[in-house]
Structure 1
Amino acid sequence: MKAIGFKTSLSIEEKDSFIEFETAKPIPGAHDLLVKIDAISVNPVDFKVRQSSAKDTVLETPKIIGWDAVGIVQAVGEKVTLFEVGDLVYYAGDITKQGSNAEYQIIDERIVGRKPKSLSIEESAVIPLTALTAWEILFDRIRINAEKDKGKSILIIGGAGGVGSIAIQLAKKIAGLTVIATASRPETIDWCKQQGADFVVNHKDLVASVREAGFQNVDFILDFVDTNAYWDTMVELIKPQGHIASITGSSEPVVLNKLKSKSVSFSWELMYTRSMYQTEDMIEQHNILNIVADLLDDGLLKTTLNLTLDGLTADNLKKAHQLLESGKTIGKIAIKF
């Protein structure tokens, strides 16, 4: 089968930052599906792994990355019960396994959902990773309850990005929250409003901007940009007994002591935790993806696709990574095979 990968971590402008190669079609294990991939999308995790996983070394076998895909089930493992050959599926994958930048992939059925019926393959391909991340951070980490928390305020730092775009929709339309999103350019401000943000504030002077919007403090904060860069700002803006959650990680220790006087909770979210550790509730990602598919088909959520590239090629992956690395992308990028 055809695949795109890399043997060493290079700048995306370098000729061999991605290479096309042939490799054997994988064989599904007991709980695995073999999926013929029709479309993928790219996420910031892709370029971060490409930049860091083969530094100062040359891999013997190219590494295949990619964590979003839509395709058709071609074969199933002996213990598979959730899907059959011929089913259309979508998923975000497992960071410990080979990725989706290939014609075929094996994937554990417990982290796969049915493709939304109303969306094209490219519209569907951009959903899984961001929807799982946004759903988990809202409902599994902060544990927002639509009945008791309806109308409360949430600040989403990084509203126009892939995760931010779907988080705005979920927070507004499913949780019933008052959504404040950050953006600074006219096009990103418009995008956040299109996703359902009630207020759009400027991240360059966030405290002043939030307060100008009429909020002295907010109940919840989601950080999709940089935990430490915004830490003091989040500490200032969060309400006593509020909750802050982040997906960005931190190269330096986070000063949790600053939350003590307000009795504020803090959570990390990593979409790969369930698959990486084979948690008892791993099948929840299957359930979430199916719920999200229903919400998309019912028109309560919409795709965050903003650009489609045609063809599984090294050049298209380079272009997508270049756009992501610029930090200026709005919504999501798909590659249709």
Structure 2
Amino acid sequence: MDTRNNRHARSRARGAVKPVTIAILAIIAGLAVASWILIIKPHEDMVSGDLGSHPSTPVVLGQKAAAPPVNVEAMSLNDLLSEARKAMNEQRVIAPAGNNAFEFYLKVLQKQPGNQVAADALRETFPFAASNVEQVINQRDFNEAQREIDLLAKVDPTNYTLTILRSKLDAQRKTLDEEQQKQLDQQRQADLAAQKAAADKAAANKALADKAAADKAAQAQAALASQQEKAKQEEQARKPAAPANQVAEGAQASGGETRDAIPVSTIRPRYPTTALRNNQEGWVDVQYTVNVDGSVDNIQVVSAEPRHVFDSAAIDALRRAKFSPAMRDGTAIASQQQKRIEFKLSNSQ
């Protein structure tokens, strides 16, 4: 009897649980429907607007933006929300400055801090705005990226995404600075190399010019010396020999002997073997200096017939000759003479 009663009580308990569970589920479903009708649906309708866009629509960069409202401060909440919806439809989530959904929604919250529509829209679009910032960083528009990061910080200052974005911005700035510094260094090195090349070229040109000038001066000096020597020889050749009586008279007048150099030995040239074999005869006019000791030097061939056959023999003969030096007023002096040395086959035998 007791057992039947217990089974019946357990059965009644199980039957009582089912209505409670059903009631709880019904309440949850009702709350969900009410939430959809009262909160979510109006917000989606407001955000979607006429074109049916959604805050989560990805941001497209480079789209031409509409002109910003003239006086944002004087706009009502409805006007601000309308401009925000328009910006969302045109994918102006966080840019351009002064004409984007983020700034319009923030202005709504500034006028009405508890506005749920603006708060929800900012929260939902935050990730897509952050993606836009990352694209701007990659494009190295650092000022715009900083502006957008500051705008995101007004919505959720503690969001870790901002830390990542700031790190990326700093890294890109550092990379750009390094690239610019590298370019400057390369340009500086190129300028230095160009300056060095120009300086080396100028130095080489100057060295060539100096060498050419020095060579020209040396040639001019040599030509002048040759002309002077030739003129001197011609002048000496034109001088007539002083008559013996004038020499004697001069010596008597001065009290000392005055005369030309006199050979003290016969000048006998050696007949060249080649000329002898070829039966050649000729002569050589030589000009020479008789020193104060009677030796001979500065021997030069003035003319010869035939040329270059008897020259060496004539010069060698004069080198071996001995002279009594010229005298002037009893003092030996160096003097120049000119003599023709003849080469005859009859004399060689």
The question of a shared fold, defined as TM-score above 0.5 by the shorter chain, is answered with no
| Structure (1 or 2) with the greater helix fraction | 2
TM bin, normalised by shorter chain, reads: under 0.3
- TM score, norm. by length of structure 2: 0.17
Q: Please, what TM-score do these two structures have when normalized by structure 1?
A: 0.17
Which structure has greater strand proportion?
1
- More relative contact order, 1 or 2 (CA 8 Å, 6+ apart): 1
Larger radius of gyration: 2
